[in-house]
Amino acid sequence: MRSRNGNCYFSLRLYTLIFFHSLALSASEYLISYHYTVKDAILFNETLQISRAMQKCSGTLQKSFILDARKEDTLEQIIQNDYINFLQNIHKIGLDVSHTQVSTNIRNTSITSLTLHTTCFKVDFNDNFAKITPLK
Amino acid sequence: MKHSLVLLSLLSVTAFAYGTAIPVQKKEVTPTVKKVYQAPMPQADTKQNITVICPTGTCSKPMNTQNMSYSNVLKTEKEDVLQKDTNMVIGVIGQGVAPMNTSSPAQAYALAKRAAVADSYRLIAEKIKGVRIEGDDLIKNMMVKRSTVRTSVKAMVRNANIVETTFKDGLCEVEMEIVISHSDFIR
């Protein structure tokens, strides 16, 4: 039976579908890994790798952080513009520390590596900012 | 009469002898030698560093003063232990050096800070988890050819906060704190 208002329920369903579809399109998942090495107290090597996830990530959402962004920016550009802030939040997530110090005939050499293993991030792009949420 | 004269003369001679005798110096009786070694007093406010050691055991100092050095030597610092429903704050200061071939002071600061952060993370890991130490000595013809000590640590650190950053003369120091609780280690 059809209600007196016409296709009220049908239009509501359609709007809901469009709304959630738009949300799903704007949110995307990225894989990010980060690594840097310090040799004898001097930064030696730093690598940040960003890639779109080719499969849907599983896991629970962790504490998110927000970076300033323009509408047309990609994630790489957003991170490039606010690199220090991004690194601070990466450090909060947790980094693996690996340190080795070798002392041969009273001559010291030390290597310290900090690594963020490949982690899936859910990124919500908005007009003025991007909301980045790590998944665990 | 003759005998009385001889006796009288003898008495006078002895009396003269007593009157003109060279006075013998009274030798003061000194007590037994007390060896009290006292460390030089550097400052007035570091009185606890004074050590009084009496090896012979015949010192006139009170007993508690003599024992002071021993009690200070045996005194050990009590290590902090993470109790069940309490938090513990661990603070470290990491150091990093800027490379020589930087294009600007800002780049030098950024790179040195990153190295200092890594050093801070390493110090936190060493404090919480501990250090693995391995040593090798190569001896050939009764001579040490090579002596190697390797220390290593592997851990995962998160939620560490930077408290203060200083950069001076190419050296960056990062003061970092981390709050750990008992529940972080119980899984």
**Domain span at B115:** 87-184
State the pairing for strand pair B37-38/B132-140.
unpaired
List, run by run, the mean pLDDT of 10-residue segments along chain B (187 residues): 60 56 46 43 49 56 52 62 84 94 91 94 94 95 94 94 93 94 76
* Residue of chain B nearest A93, judged by CA positions: B158
Q: What are phi and psi of B144, to 5 degrees?
A: -75, 115
Per-chain mean pLDDT for chain B: 75
A contacts of B152 (beta carbons < 8 Å): 98-101
Residue B162: inside a domain: yes
Q: Which of B110, B148, B159 sits opposite A103 (nearest CB)?
A: B148
Residue spans per domain, chain A: 27-134
Going by C-beta distance under 8 Å and a sequence separation of 6 or more, which residues neighbour residue A11? none
- Identify the pLDDT of residue A71: 74
Which of B47, B76, B105 terminates a domain? The answer is B76
In a domain, B140, yes or no: yes
* Res B86: pLDDT: 83
Give Cα separations from B55 to B61, B123, B184 (angstroms).
Answer: 12, 43, 52
Question: Do B67 and B137 fall within a single domain?
Answer: no
Q: Could you tell me if B57 and B146 lie in one domain?
A: no
Query: φ and ψ at A75, to 5 degrees?
Result: -65, -40
Listed residues B76, B111, B146: the one ending a domain: B76
| Residue A20, token pair as written in the block | 């959630």
Predicted local distance difference test score (pLDDT) of residue B84: 79
The H or E element containing residue A95 is strand A95-104
Give the residues of chain A that fall short of pLDDT 50.
Answer: 1, 22-25
Per the CB < 8 A criterion, the answer to whether A105 and B144 are in contact is no
Total-model pTM: 0.66
Q: Which residue of B has its CA nearest to A115?
A: B156
Determine, yes or no, domain membership for B4.
no
Can you give the pLDDT at residue B30? 45
> Of B41, B76, B111, which closes a domain?
B76
Q: Check whether residue B91 and residue B178 sit in a common domain.
A: yes
Residue B137 bridge partners (DSSP): B147
Q: How many CB pairs under 8 A join A and B?
A: 92
Task: Tell me which residue in A42, A92, A98 faces B159 most closely, judged by beta carbons.
Answer: A92
Percentage of chain B beyond pLDDT 90 is 44
For residue B8, give the DSSP letter: H
- Measured between beta carbons, the chain A residues lying within 8 angstroms of B147 are 104-106
Q: Which three-class secondary structure state does DSSP give residue B48? A: helix
Candidate from A43, A91, A113 with C-beta closest to B111 = A43
Q: Give the residue numbers in A contacting B (CB under 8 Å), as ranges.
A: 36, 38, 41-43, 46, 84, 91-106, 112-114
Report the pLDDT value the prediction gives residue A12, as an integer from 0 to 100.
64
Closest CA to B160 of B94, B103, B79, B112: B94
Whole-number pLDDT of residue A11: 66
- The encoded tokens of residue A123 equal 């990124």
Give the tens place of pLDDT for each residue, A67-97. 988 877 888 999 998 898 999 999 989 999 9
Q: Assess whether B42 and B92 both reside in one domain.
A: no
Q: At B117, list the tokens.
A: 């952060």
Token pair for A77: 């550009």
* From A36, A43, A113, residue closest to B99, measured CB to CB: A43
In terms of domains, do B102 and B164 share one?
yes
> Does some domain include residue B20?
no
Mutate to test the interface with A, among B102, B114, B124 (most CBs of A within 10 A): B114
CA-to-CA distance for B81 and A111, rounded, in angstroms?
30
Task: Assess whether B144 and B100 both reside in one domain.
Answer: yes
Domain assignment present for residue B40? The answer is yes
pLDDT of residue B81: 77
Domain total of chain B: 2
In angstroms, the CA B160 to CA B177 distance is 6
Q: Which residues pair with A49 in a beta bridge?
A: A33
User: B121 and B171 share a domain?
Assistant: yes
Determine the residue of chain A that is closest to B144 in CA distance: A105
